[in-house]
């Protein structure tokens, strides 16, 4: 019947089966199912910054995450195989893919689909991939199986579209980058480039605070840390007359920072920390070290935290290359800049080149001494008077959602550490939670039987740790068991790992609860916690995570 198609010799019997009414019905159902499936995975791609490979990764994660979803996935694949012989079975595949994964909604709660120009381009490219697959089916006389393949492969098709549109997007962003380059040359500020696996945003905020009284300073706004974001920050925020531009440079893979440094070269290069963050995309921590070190090349001054041996080695190499290096530490007084916390954790003292800059300054728990040391070092490189720097430590603002302490209406203490989570930060957060217990006053005598104070941890665990994700989360679970009275595990992404860790501490009184989303956890906290209790919200995952 296929007069225009190429007749492939087929081992399967009855090639004529593929051209009946049922076959076309299947084709229709699959094409229709592509729509909801496409919306789902396009949203994931958008949330994952259009990185190729994310949609497939998340698809695998979602379809395996619960019993019903795994069943649905198995049914879909089984039906797809069956459709080779009975095309009508493909309708079941279409139905499964249209419905699931259950829990990954079409529109999204925390992060709905934004129909930006870039997403529309991606959607068009994805649609083209799907059309090609179906067209191959029509041309080869296998419309039903290929439609079923098309609907099963939606996440893969989204990734293909991401990869193929990446060069186009780069070309489209070129005029903005050119404008930014020109503007930067005209305004000619001293550029401080900051990168690191974590601590970038906090350190950037500290630098701006310390430098503000004596220089006009502009820092890149939150999350404007990639090529397009940096260009936008320069084009829209770098006012004429700015003397210091603090640019946060983030990266998901090697070469990105080198690329940004080509048109926004830092005069002062800063690396805050190295850790297993975005490990999935890098592959290994060594590659993370390499990628971050790209920021050092154009700079004359380098500021590094040297408590990490890899960064200490980098400092030595930079010095050998002829750069001026300021080493910063949270423990070693012999480093050029050192900031240490007092024993009870409530104060810090800062030392520069051996002399004390400030001693015993009250400092919120969420401020990391190493980040502060780096900020002080940068201020000194910018020739801010050390006395001014010391004085500015008095009113250093808390960083939003980085171990930010607030008092709830119920009287409980809330530690908000939801911005992002890395293993080191998670450990610090638990220390802070334990410390908040010590600071609670004893109930007045005669006030009635007090109940034990509760220390609660609410967390979905940590993500993007690649092959280390299970182990790091299990370790986190163990650490939680040693501190907390209650643990609420949010979502399914790290549930098994966290529970394994919690179970491994035998005599722990930690009560574990499983909640599907943070909303439910907050309700529980509101209901059960009161004065004297403390809750730590560690990390928060958007709803495109299972």
Structure tokens at 106: 């079409």
Which two structure tokens, joined as six digits, stand for 122?
């991606």
DSSP string, 149-201: HHHHTHHHHHHHHHHHHHHHHHHHHHHHHHHHHHHHHHH-PEEEEEE-SS-HH
- Nearer Cβ to other proteins (7/383): 383
Q: Does 213 bind other proteins (CB under 8 A)?
A: yes
- Residue 400, interface with other proteins (CB under 8 A)? no
Under the binding rule (CB under 8 A), the answer on residue 215 touching other proteins is yes
104-106-112 Cα angle (round to 5)? 100
* By the rule CB under 8 A, 344 interacts with other proteins: no
Q: Which of 11, 13, 16, 240: binder of other proteins (CB under 8 A)?
A: 240
Closer residue to other proteins, CB minimum distance, 231 or 295: 231
Q: Angle 69-494-466 (CA atoms, 0-180°, nearest 5)?
A: 100
71, 74, 239, 284: which one contacts other proteins (CB under 8 A)? Answer: 239
Binding of other proteins at residue 236 (CB under 8 A)? yes
**388, 467, 504, 542: which one binds other proteins (CB under 8 A):** 388
Among 111, 121, 216, 485, binds other proteins (CB under 8 A): 216
State which of residues 188, 319, 321, 385 lies at the interface with other proteins (CB under 8 A). Answer: 385
Closest to other proteins by CB, 240 or 344: 240
Determine the Cα–Cα distance for residues 375 and 67; give it in Å rounded to an integer: 49
**Restricting to residues 81-120, which ones interact with other proteins according to CB under 8 A?**
116
Tell me, by CB under 8 A, how many residues bind other proteins: 19
Interaction between residue 214 and other proteins (CB under 8 A): yes
CB 541 within 8 Å of CB 98: no
- 41 touching other proteins, by CB under 8 A: no
Q: How far apart are CA 459 and CA 497, in angstroms?
A: 12
Q: How far apart are CB 145 and other proteins at their closest, in Å? A: 42
Closest approach of other proteins to the CB of residue 294, in Å:
26
CB contact set of 359 (below 8 Å; sequence gap of 6+) = 349, 350
Least Cβ distance, residue 379 to other proteins (angstroms):
13
Q: Does 183 help bind other proteins (rule: CB under 8 A)?
A: yes
Residue 338 tokens read as: 């050192």
Cα torsion angle, 166, 171, 172, 173, sign: positive
Nearer to other proteins, 241 or 449 (CB): 241
Site for other proteins contains 394 (CB under 8 A): no
Q: Which of 121, 164, 235, 485 binds other proteins (CB under 8 A)?
A: 235
Residue 416 three-state SS? strand
**Considering beta carbons, is residue 173 or 410 the nearer one to other proteins?**
173
CB of 251 to other proteins, least distance (A): 21
Among 36, 221, 254, 298, binds other proteins (CB under 8 A): 221
**Residue 232 found at the interface with other proteins (CB under 8 A):** yes
Please state, in angstroms and as integers, the Cα–Cα distance from residue 293 to each residue in 76, 176, 320, 417, 433, following that order: 46, 26, 15, 28, 34
Closest CA to 238 of 171, 302, 175, 191: 191
DSSP output for 280-305: HHHSSHHHHHHHHHGGGTT-SEEEEE
Minimum CB separation from other proteins for residue 50, in Å? 17
State in angstroms the smallest separation of the CB of 502 from other proteins.
Answer: 39
> Does residue 230 touch other proteins according to CB under 8 A?
no
For residues 404 and 416, give the distance between their C-alpha atoms in angstroms, rounded to a whole number.
Answer: 5
Please report whether residue 243 would count as binding other proteins according to CB under 8 A. yes
Distance CA 149, CA 89 (A): 13
By CB under 8 A, which span of 232-240, 426-434, 500-508, 516-524 interacts with other proteins? 232-240
- If the CB atoms of residues 10 and 387 are measured against other proteins, the closer one turns out to be 387
Of 143 and 229, nearer to other proteins (C-beta) is 229
Among 41, 50, 224, 282, binds other proteins (CB under 8 A): 224
Element (H, E) at 45: helix 21-47
Work out which of 30, 208, 230, 238 binds other proteins, going by CB under 8 A: 238
Window of 128-136, 143-151, 229-237, 443-451 that interacts with other proteins by CB under 8 A: 229-237
What residues contact residue 475 under an 8 Å CB cut-off, 6+ apart?
A: 423, 501
CA distances from 346 to 249, 351, 455 (A): 31, 17, 19
Spatial strand order in the sheet of 355-362: 217-219, 244-248, 190-195, 268-271, 301-305, 324-329, 337-341, 347-352, 355-362
CB of 224 to other proteins, least distance (A): 8
Q: Which residues bind other proteins (CB under 8 A)?
A: 116, 183, 213-216, 221, 224, 232-233, 235-240, 243, 385, 388
């Amino acid at each position: 019947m296929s007069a225009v198609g190429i007749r492939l010799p087929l081992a399967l019997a009855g090639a004529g089966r593929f051209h009946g009414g049922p076959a076309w019905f299947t084709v229709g159902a699959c094409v229709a199912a592509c729509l909801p499936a496409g919306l789902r995975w396009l949203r994931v791609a958008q949330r994952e910054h259009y990185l190729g490979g994310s949609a497939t990764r998340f698809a695998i994660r979602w379809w395996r995450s619960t019993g019903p979803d795994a069943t649905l996935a198995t049914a879909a694949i089984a039906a797809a195989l069956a459709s080779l012989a009975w095309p009508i079975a493909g309708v079941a595949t279409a139905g499964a893919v249209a419905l699931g994964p259950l829990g990954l909604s079409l529109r999204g709660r925390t992060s709905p689909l934004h129909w930006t120009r870039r997403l529309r381009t991606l959607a068009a490219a994805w649609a083209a991939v799907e059309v090609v697959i179906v067209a191959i089916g029509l041309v080869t006389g296998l419309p039903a199986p290929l439609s079923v393949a098309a609907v099963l492969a939606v996440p893969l098709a989204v990734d293909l579209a991401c990869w193929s549109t990446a060069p186009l997007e780069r070309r489209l962003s070129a005029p903005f980058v050119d404008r930014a380059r020109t503007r930067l040359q005209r305004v000619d500020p001293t550029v401080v480039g900051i990168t690191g696996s974590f601590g970038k945003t906090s350190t950037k905020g500290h630098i701006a605070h310390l430098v503000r009284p004596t220089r006009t300073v502009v820092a890149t706004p939150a999350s404007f840390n990639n090529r397009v974001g940096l260009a936008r920050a320069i084009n829209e925020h770098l006012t004429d007359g700015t003397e210091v531009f603090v640019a946060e440079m983030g990266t998901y893979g090697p070469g990105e920072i080198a690329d940004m440094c080509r048109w926004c070269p830092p005069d002062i290069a800063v690396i805050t920390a190295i850790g297993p963050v975005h490990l999935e995309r890098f592959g290994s921590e060594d590659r993370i070290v390499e990628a971050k070190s790209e920021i050092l090349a154009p700079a004359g001054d380098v500021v590094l935290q040297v408590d990490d041996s890899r960064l200490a080695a980098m400092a030595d190499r930079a010095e050998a290359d002829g750069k001026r290096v300021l080493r910063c530490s949270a423990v070693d007084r012999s480093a050029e800049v050192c900031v240490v916390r007092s024993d009870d954790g409530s104060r810090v003292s800062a030392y520069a080149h051996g002399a004390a800059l400030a001693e015993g300054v009250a400092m919120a728990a969420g401020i990391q001494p190493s980040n502060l040391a780096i900020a002080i070092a940068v201020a000194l490189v910018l020739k801010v008077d050390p006395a001014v720097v010391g004085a500015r430590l008095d009113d250093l603002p808390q960083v939003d959602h980085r171990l930010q302490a607030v008092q709830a209406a119920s009287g409980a203490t809330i530690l908000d550490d939801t911005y992002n989570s890395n293993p080191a930060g998670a450990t610090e957060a638990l220390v802070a939670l334990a410390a908040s217990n010590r600071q609670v006053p004893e109930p007045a005598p005669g006030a009635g039987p007090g109940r034990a104070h509760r220390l609660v941890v609410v967390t979905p665990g940590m993500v993007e740790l690649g092959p280390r994700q299970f182990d790091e989360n299990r370790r986190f679970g163990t650490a939680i068991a040693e501190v907390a009275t209650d643990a609420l595990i949010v979502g399914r992404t790290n549930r098994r790992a966290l529970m394994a860790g919690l179970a491994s501490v035998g005599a722990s009184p930690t009560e574990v609860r499983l909640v599907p989303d943070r909303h439910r956890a907050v309700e529980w906290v509101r209901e059960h916690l009161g004065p004297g209790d403390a809750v730590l919200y560690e990390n928060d995952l958007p709803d495109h995570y299972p």
